[in-house]
Amino acid sequence: MADDPTPVQTPVQADTPEARRYNRIRRWLDIADFVVGFVFLVVLLVTGWSSALRDVAIRFGSQVYGLQLFVYLALLLAISKALGLGLEYYGFRLERRYKLSNQRFPSWAWDEAKGFLVGLVLGSIVVELLYYTIREWPQHWWMLAWALFMGLFILLAQLAPVMLFPIFYKFEPLDNEDLRRRLVVLSERAGMRVRGVYRWKLSEKSKKANAALTGLGATRRIILADTLLDNYSAEEIEAVLAHELGHQVHRHILKSIFVQAAVTFVGFWAANWALHFAIDRHLFDFDGLHDFANLPLLALVSVVLSFLLMPALNAYSRYNERQADRYAFESISSIEPFISSMNKLAEQNLAERLPSKWVEWFFHSHPSIAKRLAAANEWEKMQGASPQA
Ligand SMILES: [Zn+2]
């Protein structure tokens, strides 16, 4: 980059046209998915179809509000799934076309079905709680709903590794005792008590490599994709884990929960404001706060807010990622495995090493590979320059 004052030590490998094309298509898919969702919500409200759906739900809900609400949500999610299915199928074909996955159609379709059911269950819990607070405390519902939502969010983060992930992937305890011990030592140095290291059978669904520290409290565990375990050296896997531990050391999870809490607080406040605005002006024919035909309006507030905050939240995330990288540099014995693991990951996942500036600014939660490598090289240079004890 022309305005970068510190020249990169090792020249960054240029992105292949294939990687550029793949990432461009992925991005357009994400944008299309967002637009379809946004337009769907607006159409539901403006045409009055939301109220029509509510009438259908009331007919099938046999006088029970909770059941009517469930029927309405199920209809809404089913229609939205049908609308988005074409794009998702295209995404599935795309991964195969670029040889990033060898998942078969039946397995993909089964994942889609499971994903829909999981979404319906989680969505029902959220929506039932939401309208319960609206009916019981119409004045202050949004603050209570916010508190409940955050409680649910933390509970879900805790339960996800043991209840949600196994619905889609198989996990087994890591059988490589030597590697397990190395990773446990590295974790303990970061002050983390490891509750388990798992082999994540990602290869059935994707050829991309991945690793993560997941869960909270008792479910906190290291998961390493088999696609990583089978192709990376122990030192490279240590480098990848060291980055994850950097998040732990810098308390990024706790901080992210606070950020999430602040964002959703604003979100619920805005949702309440939008509901009152619509009801006072007799927009969209709502029958009051408790009328669940207004659900698309609540969803719309959340969609618009997420969209507006995306660059800021991504910038915050990139800042955290840089911090985690720095922790990794400091805690591994040599920078080489970090650099080679980054290069391998970029190649294996067909990542863009150097995306355009605005793409990185808006879409990316991680700094580009080129920047991460430059930071690693820079860090090593500084080490060399400072007198060693
Ligand atoms: Zn990270």
- Confidence at 14, pLDDT banded by 50, 70, 90: confident
- Residue 11: per-residue pLDDT: 59
pLDDT surpasses 80 at 10: no
pLDDT surpasses 50 at 19: yes
Question: Which string of DSSP letters, residue by residue, matches 61-75?
Answer: TTT-HHHHHHHHHHH
CA 346 to centroid of ligand 1, rounded, Å? 14
- Residue 349: per-residue pLDDT: 87
CA 282 to centroid of ligand 1, rounded, Å? 47
Non-local (6+) Cβ contacts of 78 within 8 A are 116
Buried b (16+ CB within 10 A) or exposed e, 334-358: ebebbbebbebbbebbbbbbbbeee
pLDDT tens per residue across span 168-188? 999 999 999 999 999 988 888
pLDDT surpasses 50 at 364: yes
CA 303 to centroid of ligand 1, rounded, Å? 25
Question: Which string of DSSP letters, residue by residue, matches 177-218?
Answer: HHHHHHHHHHHHHTT-----EEEE--TTT-S---EEEE-SGG
Q: Give the environment of ion ligand 1: residues with CB less than 5 A.
A: 321, 324
- Residue 387: per-residue pLDDT: 53
Class of residue 67 by CB neighbours under 10 A (exposed 0-12, middle 13-18, buried 19+) = middle
- Residue 12: per-residue pLDDT: 66
CA 236 to centroid of ligand 1, rounded, Å? 15
- Residue 221: per-residue pLDDT: 86
- Confidence at 1, pLDDT banded by 50, 70, 90: very low
CA 19 to centroid of ligand 1, rounded, Å? 21
CA 322 to centroid of ligand 1, rounded, Å? 8
Locus of tokens 């079905």? 113
Mark residue 373 as left, alpha or beta (left: phi above 0; alpha: psi -120 to 50; beta: remaining).
Answer: alpha
pLDDT tens per residue across span 106-157? 999 999 999 999 999 999 999 999 999 999 999 999 999 999 999 999 999 8
CB 52 within 8 A of CB 42: no
Strands 197-200 and 221-225: parallel
pTM, two decimals, is: 0.84
Residue 147, CA atoms < 13 Å, CB-side half-sphere: 5
What is the CB neighbour count within 10 angstroms for residue 329?
21
SS3 of residue 102 by DSSP = coil
How far apart, in Å, are the Cα atoms of 194 and each of 25, 185, 186, 190, 206? 39, 9, 10, 10, 26
Q: What pairs with residue 222 in β-bridges?
A: 197, 213
Please state the rounded mean pLDDT for residues 1-15: 55
Please state the rounded mean pLDDT for residues 337-366: 89
Share of the chain above pLDDT 90, in %: 63
Return the minimum-mean-pLDDT range out of 48-52, 114-118, 299-303, 385-389: 385-389
pLDDT tens per residue across span 264-293? 999 999 999 999 999 988 888 888 888 999
**Distance from first CA to last CA of the chain, Å, rounded?**
35
Distance CA(213)–CA(194), nearest Å, equals 10
- Residue 108: per-residue pLDDT: 94
